[in-house]
Amino acid sequence: MKNKFRNLIICFFILFLSLYLIPSVLAKTRLSYLTSFVLDNEIDGNGFSNTVGLGVSYEATASALEILEHYGINPHEIEDLKSNLEDTITDMFDTNSVNLYSLYSLMKSLEILNHDIDTLLLDRIYQYLNDTEQVGGGFSYSNASTSVSLTYTYYVIQLYSLIDKPVVNITIHKDWILSCNNSDGGYGGNQSLTSTLINTYFATILINDMGNIDELADINLTLNYFKSYYINDTADLDNFGGFTPTDISDYALLSSTYYCARSLSLIEDYLGSSELNKGAISNWVLSRQNFHDGGFAENPEGSEAMTSSIISSYFAFETLNILGYLSSLNSEIWRVEFNYWILGIILSSIVLVIAAGIFLWRRRRI
């Protein structure tokens, strides 16, 4: 009798231990979710879509490649991908349909892939960039325009770097960028426009890359400008730790959080200060991971419905990297998704527990 009870106790112990270990067996790291999502968006030999089911996005391709490169993961059909990306750039120039934003993403992708671009094509790119330069400083969106813009000045200067060419007349361009400064510490798209977060980000990065960040018109005002977008209300569980895209927005975004975190990190490193609540920011970023597909999602209207994208995932990845919290992606997360196998295991376990309990109760009565 004692042996029977001992065996029964052992069976109960094994059963409960199995139930306890199921979550560990099913556990995946945040990083596993993220890289799976990125690879699910791959269109072999052509690039990556921003979300599953869409066509190739140049920005999403550059973003996906940067994430994968960090973890030593190569895309499929890599040679075809290199060739197709370069052919796309060539076609832009052959059809006179150059888009600086798309060109930047394509060139960034080829740089990540360590691809040597045809010399003649590089010369065409260099000439085009030179033709967008404006006499008073800054660059326009095309070689046929004289409308200067801080946004396109940013992309042109980044492209010069990607083709390993120097920016000529750097002082004139730097002075023009600084002339876009406003009294609130932010920067507008040109000298007549009000400040926006994205343009202030562009100005900060450009001044840092072209010289020293302390050359900003007023570095402390710019610091406060970025900080003004931070949501510091601990009662606002959906947004605490993030940064809003505008001063009238109620919801934090991954994109605006990235712009602010990168800019503030540069400024604070120079000033020797440390006011960023890195823990709160990182926790908010991690809360935007969507375990239905593994990617990260924006929440522009406070909706609980999350639609992940490669670009949003890149902003999340880079923000964590800037803050020194990238290792948090190694943490395990368990989430039971409806699955008939899992349901069957749970129901079977319950039946076994009930049956064992009835058996034990009857044996004790005998």
Identity of the amino acid at 132: T
Q: Is residue 318 part of a domain?
A: yes
Are 291 and 354 in the same domain?
no
Please name which of 243, 248, 247 lies closest in space to residue 261, comparing C-alpha atoms.
243
pLDDT given at position 153: 97
Are 286 and 362 in the same domain?
no
Q: Which domain holds residue 297?
A: 229-333
How far is Cα 1 from Cα 28, in angstroms, rounded to an integer? Answer: 44
- Please report how many Cα atoms fall inside a 13 Å half-sphere around the Cα of residue 230, on the Cβ side: 19
Q: Indicate the number of domains in the chain.
A: 2
- Percent over 90 (pLDDT), the chain: 75
Using only the alpha carbons of the chain, give its radius of gyration: 27
Are 306 and 366 in the same domain?
no
Are 320 and 354 in the same domain?
no
Q: Is residue 84 part of a domain?
A: no
Are 326 and 353 in the same domain?
no
Sign of CA dihedral 255, 133, 165, 215: negative
Are 294 and 359 in the same domain?
no
Please name which of 317, 340, 221 lies closest in space to residue 271, comparing C-alpha atoms.
221
pLDDT given at position 363: 58
Reported as a single tens digit per residue, the pLDDT across 140-154 is 999 999 999 999 999
Are 366 and 296 in the same domain?
no
Poorest-pLDDT segment among 75-79, 97-101, 302-306: 302-306
User: What's this model's pTM, rounded to 2 decimal places?
Assistant: 0.84
Q: Is residue 136 part of a domain?
A: no
Residue range 38-63: mean pLDDT, rounded: 94
Q: Is residue 155 part of a domain?
A: no
Note the helical H segments in 27-165. 30-40, 58-70, 78-94, 100-112, 119-131, 150-162
Are 278 and 304 in the same domain?
yes
Please name which of 335, 201, 211 lies closest in space to residue 256, comparing C-alpha atoms.
201
Are 310 and 364 in the same domain?
no
Q: Is residue 354 part of a domain?
A: yes
In degrees rounded to 5, what are phi and psi of residue 45? 80, -5
How far is Cα 236 from Cα 245, in angstroms, rounded to an integer? Answer: 17
Q: Is residue 299 part of a domain?
A: yes
Exposure string (b/e) for 5-29, b if CB count within 10 Å is 16 or more? eeeeeeeeeeeeeeeeeeeeeeeee
Query: At 12, is the pLDDT very low, low, confident or very high (cuts 50, 70, 90)?
Result: low
Residue range 233-249: mean pLDDT, rounded: 93
Instruction: Give the pairing type, strands 296-297 and 139-140.
Output: unpaired
How far is Cα 177 from Cα 169, in angstroms, rounded to an integer? Answer: 13
pLDDT given at position 291: 80
Are 247 and 318 in the same domain?
yes
User: Contact at 8 Å (CB) between 177 and 170?
Assistant: no
Q: How many C-beta atoms surround the C-beta of residue 221 within 10 A?
A: 15
| CA distances (Å), origin 180, targets 138, 169, 203, 258, 310 | 11, 18, 9, 22, 32
Identity of the amino acid at 314: Y
Query: At 347, is the pLDDT very low, low, confident or very high (cuts 50, 70, 90)?
Result: low
Query: At 356, is the pLDDT very low, low, confident or very high (cuts 50, 70, 90)?
Result: low
Q: Is residue 216 part of a domain?
A: no
Q: Is residue 196 part of a domain?
A: no
DSSP code of 214? Answer: G
Are 264 and 354 in the same domain?
no
Are 329 and 361 in the same domain?
no
